[in-house]
């Protein structure tokens, strides 16, 4: 039986059926590559040489087809452990509001000791593939399927609701670095950490290939529409993620980001090839952190181009892992966050007064590199809470330091989490004791608010005559968009979600063109049972979002808010040389620009790009490229929300720094809050502005700068670096100054300067000298 400790509610960090089964929204019909390209979402990587059947999932604007009454996504996590077999209330596939949602993420599969995707051994106790629920109306098995359990029921209901897509979610808090065996015991196998990254920090491509091949086979066998990777967390920040994984993760952290990128690229390519063979596009998504702390160690989150969409875990922003009392999932910052104030975030000019523990900040972080429609914000259907709260306003922004921390939490200082009747969905620490966290389904929190002791409490170990102490008064902050319950007698603070906050977040999604919402987890939603006089599991909040979204305008499908050139040139841009998390403030990576065209880019060539307003508009460089912010959609603090999406940056090759075909140049970039990969690049050559192929924009043609476009290859598969023919680099001159990376031609060879030089003739400086011989031309 699956252990309840697999629940995501234990987060401690800041943040094919039978072969003939038709999958939802996957009827093909378009076969030509040019037509399929018209359906590819803006910015989505396409596997070279593969005719990916995008039109099976997307329309010709690159928007996902989800049914006429679903203009935005409502993605619900469905967990495998609420089976009812342990006496607690069950939440099965028949309890899902199928007509109100668009996607279901099944939580969780895991990485097995053999590096393959698994949900454990088959058998009658396996909730995913073997368990049955005799006598439960709606939970009867579909006899046409060769397996039982949740997977059988999911596919049974998908036949009735063909627009709903299902994904297998892999990992989670408890199973990123290991998995639970058939007895419910955790096996510390290494999971994602060792599957994707070797002990020396190098990429474990063999492990990745094994996992990706098994993932493709898994989705085909069990009728899933794709894979959702919930890797918590591939960051270089020390002691991130589950404390049980710290020893192994910390030793590999210098290579975790590269391993993550290799994993996602491999999954994308293998799913694309499988999709082309099957005539259906398979989805690849991730659950991404929202905490600025974790994202600081994920470089520029280079994997977004491989993802159909990203689900932001914009919750667990405050909780008992530290003493600062605040909302679980506020929409906005209010300039008063106790944790940020203690870190002098508001007082630092470098941070620009931007608070980064809120949903709006996290959304804008990803908006810097993705269309709004490929981003979904997360909502929690559970609470976080503290007891013995000191100070604050009705507990908000107070403190609740704990005398001792839970066993196995790896913490020497932590918060005083709520317990008992205020912690119904608790996990247990490594000593088998209740972990104080104030974690409750929203239906229980609603009963606390009404002063009701639900009849279900006996199933969680409480006596039938349990009485509540004090009054749980509902409070709400309209700036934060955050409700909570405050029990003044017990000094208990429980951060909640309800109709008011969810309606505001749904309006936020609609107004900004965001793709939709993701909820953890559906079993926490509520309905009022008038006959019993209590709240129970239901779909009130999910229905509210469905009603809001059904008549909304289509989501934002373009990465840039401005018109970009329709002609693109093959100039590559890469962010490299990030320092480890302990040493990466400010963030000072190198930007490597590589000229893959046949045309030399002269000194003074201007590049422009956008980065997200989640960071202040004070980016610069340390390499003489004149990097400056030339426009900003937002300035000042982010109290009440960031007002726009992008800062526009200009940089120029130094006057003496031409960039020959095949040559690269580096500059040191400098910024103060993490950003996802800057995008919407342009380069101006010969007075004409071009896009760059690396943005993977829809509707662009790859051209040679300064020439008539002519026929063009697929913009998602740029032309390779040309084989050298005649000498194309400028002739070397004894009077000229050359910077590192500059290429010249001399005596029928091409030479590259390793550093600044003047007057040193190529071919005379030796193997260890300034000039590197790139070969005959």
Give residue 30's pLDDT band: very low, low, confident or very high (50, 70, 90).
very low
Q: What is the pLDDT of residues 477-527, one digit of tens each?
A: 999 999 999 999 999 999 999 999 999 999 999 999 999 999 999 999 999
Mean pLDDT along residues 54-59: 98
pLDDT above 60 for 1: no
Categorize the per-residue pLDDT at 718 as very low, low, confident or very high, splitting at 50, 70 and 90.
Answer: very low
Q: Is the N-terminal amide bond of 233 cis, ω within 30° of 0?
A: yes
Per-residue confidence (pLDDT) for residue 588, from 0 to 100: 94
Q: What is the overall mean pLDDT for the chain?
A: 91
Q: What distance lies between CA 555 and its chain's CA centroid?
A: 18
Tokens in use for 335? 């300039």
pTM here? 0.88
At 349, is the pLDDT very low, low, confident or very high (cuts 50, 70, 90)? confident
Tokens 């460089």 correspond to 621
Q: Which pLDDT does position 34 carry in this prediction?
A: 61
Q: Cα dist. 517→68, 105, 314, 478 in Å?
A: 17, 13, 10, 20
State yes or no: pLDDT of 23 exceeds 70: no
Confidence of residue 767 (pLDDT cuts 50, 70, 90): low
pLDDT for 764 equals: 82
Residues β-bridged to residue 324:
399
The strands making up 606-612's β-sheet, listed across from edge to edge, are 628-632, 646-652, 606-612, 679-685, 688-692, 567-569, 701-702
- Identify whether 108 is preceded by a cis peptide bond (ω within 30 of 0): yes
Q: From 2.10.10.20, 3.30.43.10, 3.40.50.10790, 2.30.30.30, which CATH number describes the 737-776 domain?
A: 2.10.10.20
Q: What percentage of the chain reaches a pLDDT higher than 90?
A: 83
Tokens of residue 479, six digits: 């700036």
Q: What is residue 33's predicted lDDT score, i.e. its pLDDT? A: 62
For residue 647, how many other CB atoms are within 10 A of its CB?
A: 27
Which one, of 713, 564, 698, lies nearest residue 62 by Cα? 698
Sort residue 353 into left (φ over 0), alpha (ψ -120 to 50) or beta.
left
What is the model's pLDDT at position 713?
Answer: 46
What's the CATH architecture for 4-313? Answer: Alpha-Beta Barrel (3.20)
- Mapped onto helix, strand or coil, the DSSP state of residue 612 is strand
> pLDDT class for 765, splitting at 50, 70, 90?
confident
pLDDT(31) > 50: no
Classify the C-alpha dihedral 731-733-737-738 as positive or negative: positive
Residue spans per domain, the chain: 4-313, 567-702, 737-776
123: buried, middle or exposed (CB in 10 Å: 19+, 13-18, 0-12)? Answer: exposed
Q: What mean pLDDT is predicted for residues 314-325? A: 97
Smallest Cα–Cα separation from 447: which of 385, 532, 345?
A: 532
Measured in residues, the chain has a length of: 777
Beta bridge partner(s), residue 667: 591
What average pLDDT score do residues 49-63 get?
Answer: 97
pLDDT value at 722 more than 70: no
> Considering Cα of 180, then 186, then 187, then 189, what sign does the dihedral take?
positive
Q: How confident is the model at residue 345 (pLDDT cuts 50, 70, 90)?
A: very high
- pLDDT attached to residue 19: 29
Q: What is the dihedral of CA 767, 769, 771, 777, to 10 degrees?
A: -20
In the predicted model, is pLDDT for residue 692 greater than 90? Answer: yes
Say if residue 421's pLDDT is above 80.
yes
* Residue 619 confidence (pLDDT): 95
Q: What is the mean pLDDT of residues 726-746?
A: 80
Give me the pLDDT at residue 707, please: 73
Q: Which of 19-33, 91-105, 237-251, 657-671 has the lowest mean pLDDT?
A: 19-33
Backbone angles phi, psi at 774, to 5 degrees: -95, 0
Asked whether residue 17 carries a pLDDT value surpassing 60, the answer given is no
Per-residue pLDDT at 775 exceeds 90: no
Confidence of residue 745 (pLDDT cuts 50, 70, 90): confident
Mean pLDDT of 413-425: 97
Using one digit for the tens of pLDDT, what is the confidence trace for 189-217?
999 999 999 999 999 999 999 999 999 99
Q: Mean pLDDT over residues 449-459, rounded?
A: 97
Q: Could you read off the pLDDT of 116-168 as tens digits, one per residue?
A: 999 999 999 999 999 999 999 999 999 999 999 999 999 999 999 999 999 99
Is the pLDDT at 726 greater than 80? The verdict is: no
In CATH terms, the fold of domain 567-702 is Immunoglobulin-like (2.60.40)
Q: What are the backbone angles phi and psi of residue 607, rounded to the nearest 5°?
A: -115, 145
When pLDDT is cut at 50, 70 and 90, the band that residue 755 belongs to is low
Q: What is the pLDDT of residues 210-230, one digit of tens each?
A: 999 999 999 999 999 999 999
Picking from 30-34, 272-276, 451-455, which range would have the lowest pLDDT averaged per residue? Answer: 30-34
> Could you give phi then psi for residue 5, rounded to 5 degrees?
-70, -5
Sorting pLDDT into bands at 50, 70 and 90, what band is 760?
Answer: confident
Report, as an integer, the average pLDDT of 625-644: 96
Q: Is pLDDT at 711 greater than 50 in this prediction?
A: no
- What Å distances lie between residue 751 and 393, 540, 553, 598, 601, CA to CA? 67, 68, 55, 16, 16
Confidence of residue 771 (pLDDT cuts 50, 70, 90): confident
Indicate the SS3 state at residue 75. strand
Cβ atoms of 165 and 24 closer than 8 Å: yes
């Amino acid at each position: 039986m699956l252990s309840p400790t697999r629940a995501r509610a234990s987060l401690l960090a800041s943040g094919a059926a039978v072969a003939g089964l038709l999958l939802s929204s996957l009827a093909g019909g378009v076969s030509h590559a040019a037509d399929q390209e018209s359906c590819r979402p803006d910015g989505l990587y396409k596997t070279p040489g593969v005719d990916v059947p995008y039109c099976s999932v997307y329309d010709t604007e690159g928007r996902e087809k989800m049914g006429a009454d679903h203009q935005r996504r409502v993605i619900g996590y469905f967990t495998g452990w609420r089976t009812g077999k342990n006496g607690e209330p069950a939440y099965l596939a028949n309890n899902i509001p199928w007509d109100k949602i668009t996607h279901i993420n099944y939580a969780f599969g895991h990485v097995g000791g053999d590096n393959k995707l698994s949900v454990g051994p088959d058998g009658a106790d396996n909730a995913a593939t073997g368990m049955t629920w005799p006598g439960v109306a709606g939970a009867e098995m579909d006899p046409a399927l060769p397996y039982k359990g949740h997977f059988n029921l999911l596919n049974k209901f998908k036949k009735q609701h063909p627009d709903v897509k299902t994904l297998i979610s892999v990992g989670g808090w408890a199973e990123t670095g290991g998995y639970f065996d058939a007895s419910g015991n955790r096996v510390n196998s290494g999971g994602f950490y060792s599957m994707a990254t070797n002990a020396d920090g190098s990429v474990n491509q063999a492990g990745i290939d094994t996992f990706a091949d098994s993932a493709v086979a898994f989705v085909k066998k069990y009728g899933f529409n794709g894979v959702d990777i919930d890797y918590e967390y591939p960051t270089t920040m020390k002691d991130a993620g589950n404390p049980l994984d710290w020893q192994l993760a910390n030793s590999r952290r210098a290579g975790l980001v590269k391993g993550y990128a290799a994993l996602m690229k491999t999954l994308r390519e293998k799913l694309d090839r499988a999709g082309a063979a099957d005539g259906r596009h398979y989805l690849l998504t991730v659950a991404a952190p929202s905490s600025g702390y974790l994202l600081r160690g994920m470089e520029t989150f280079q994997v977004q181009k491989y993802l159909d969409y990203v689900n932001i875990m914009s919750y667990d922003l405050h909780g008992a892992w530290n003493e600062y009392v605040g909302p679980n999932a506020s929409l906005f910052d209010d300039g008063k966050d106790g944790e940020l104030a203690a870190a002098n975030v508001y007082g630092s000019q470098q941070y620009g007064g931007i608070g980064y523990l809120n949903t709006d900040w996290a959304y804008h972080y990803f908006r810097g590199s993705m269309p709004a429609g490929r981003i979904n914000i997360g909502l929690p259907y559970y609470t976080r809470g503290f007891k013995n709260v000191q100070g604050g306003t009705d507990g908000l922004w107070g403190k609740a330091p704990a005398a001792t921390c839970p066993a196995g939490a790896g913490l020497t200082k932590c918060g005083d989490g709520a317990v008992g009747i205020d912690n119904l969905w608790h996990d247990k620490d490594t000593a088998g004791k209740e972990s104080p966290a104030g974690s409750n389904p929203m239906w229980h929190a609603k009963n606390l608010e009404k002063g009701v002791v639900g009849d279900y409490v006996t199933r969680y170990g409480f006596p039938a005559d349990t009485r509540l102490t004090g009054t749980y008064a509902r409070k709400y902050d309209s700036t934060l968009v955050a409700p909570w319950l405050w029990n003044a007698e017990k000094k208990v603070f429980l951060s909640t979600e309800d109709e008011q906050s969810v309606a505001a977040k749904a309006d936020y999604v609609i107004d900004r063109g965001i793709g939709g919402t993701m909820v953890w987890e559906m079993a926490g939603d509520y309905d009022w049972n008038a006959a019993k006089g209590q709240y129970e599991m239901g779909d009130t909040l999910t229905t509210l979002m469905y009603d809001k979204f059904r008549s909304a305008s289509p989501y934002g499908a373009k990465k840039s808010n401005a018109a970009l050139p329709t002609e693109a040139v093959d100039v590559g841009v890469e962010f490299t040389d990030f320092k480890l998390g302990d040493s990466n403030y400010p963030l000072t990576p190198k930007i490597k620009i590589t000229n893959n065209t046949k045309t030399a880019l002269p000194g003074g060539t201007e590049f422009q790009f956008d980065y997200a307003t989640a960071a202040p508009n004070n980016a610069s460089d340390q390499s003489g490229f004149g990097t400056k912010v030339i426009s900003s959609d937002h300035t000042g603090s982010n109290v009440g929300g960031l007002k726009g999406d992008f800062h526009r940056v200009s940089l120029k090759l130094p006057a003496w720094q031409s960039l020959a075909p095949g040559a690269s140049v580096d500059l040191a970039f400098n910024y103060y809050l993490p950003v996802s990969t800057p995008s919407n690049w342009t380069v101006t050559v010969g007075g004409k502005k071009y896009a760059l192929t690396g943005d993977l924009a829809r509707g662009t043609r790859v051209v040679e700068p300064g020439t008539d476009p002519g026929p063009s290859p697929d913009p998602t598969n740029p032309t390779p670096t040309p084989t050298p023919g005649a000498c194309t680099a400028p002739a070397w001159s004894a009077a000229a100054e050359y910077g590192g990376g500059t290429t010249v031609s001399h005596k029928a060879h091409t030479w590259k300067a390793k550093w600044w030089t003047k007057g040193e003739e190529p071919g005379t400086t030796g193997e260890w000298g300034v000039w590197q011989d790139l070969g005959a031309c």
